[in-house]
């Protein structure tokens, strides 16, 4: 069984990234491809394909793909990078000025560094990849000790409790105690 995280060298640093990203990207591609195939097949059986309908289905599939395609999160000591389809944002995780976890349905962590860099990380990525969380937590602690983290202490504590709770639930589930 392949580990869910990986260590790789990036600029001589130890970097951790979400290994589940490949499967999520494949799933997004598969869903979009399946929708295109089914919609074109239904159109072909229902009177034949025409150019406007085909272009409309292709546009819809592209929108679906963009919505479903996951961002790849890469963390190394002092740095966290989020790579989406067309964007790449990097924050200095050891110089965090703000860490926000909004009380919303979105479940994304918003990180802002002292240099103005801003990145959004899905909570499920941190929960599924303990090495990512451990690097981020260590860098947030460094930011707090240096006095850079002025906004987000409460959200950081909430996040720590959530990770600990989810980890405990996973341990109990795997051990058969839950």
State pLDDT tens for residues 32-66.
Answer: 999 999 999 998 888 888 899 899 999 999 999 99
Number of CB atoms found within 10 A of residue 10's CB:
15
pLDDT of the residue at 56 = 94
* Residue 49: C-alpha distances to residues 1, 34, 35, 52 (Å): 45, 17, 15, 9
If we measure between CA atoms, which residue out of 76, 54, 56 comes closest to residue 6? Answer: 76
pLDDT of the residue at 13 = 56
CA gyration radius, the chain: 20
Give the residue ranges of the chain where pLDDT is below 70. Answer: 1-13, 178
Using the 8-state DSSP alphabet, how is residue 151 labeled?
B
Q: Is 28 exposed, middle or buried (0-12, 13-18, 19+ CB in 10 A)?
A: middle
pLDDT of the residue at 89 = 94
pLDDT of the residue at 113 = 93
Contact (Cβ atoms closer than 8 angstroms) between residue 111 and residue 98: yes
Contact (Cβ atoms closer than 8 angstroms) between residue 73 and residue 82: yes
pLDDT of the residue at 3 = 41
């Amino acid at each position: 069984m392949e580990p869910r995280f990986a260590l790789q060298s990036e600029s001589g640093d130890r970097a951790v990234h979400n290994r589940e990203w490949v499967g999520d990207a494949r799933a997004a591609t598969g869903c979009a491809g399946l929708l295109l195939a089914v919609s074109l097949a239904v159109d072909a059986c229902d009177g034949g394909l025409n150019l406007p309908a085909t272009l409309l289905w292709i546009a819809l599939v592209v929108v679906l793909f963009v919505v479903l395609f996951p961002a790849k999160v890469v963390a190394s000591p002092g740095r966290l990078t989020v790579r989406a389809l067309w964007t790449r944002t990097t924050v200095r995780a050891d110089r965090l000025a703000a860490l926000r976890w909004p009380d919303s349905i979105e479940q994304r962590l918003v990180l802002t560094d002292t240099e103005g860099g801003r990145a959004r990380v899905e909570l499920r990525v941190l929960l599924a990849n303990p090495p990512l969380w451990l690097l981020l937590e260590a860098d947030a602690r460094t930011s707090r000790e240096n006095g850079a983290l002025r906004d987000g202490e409460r959200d950081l504590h909430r996040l720590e409790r959530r990770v600990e709770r989810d980890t405990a639930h996973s341990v109990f589930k795997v051990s058969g105690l839950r």
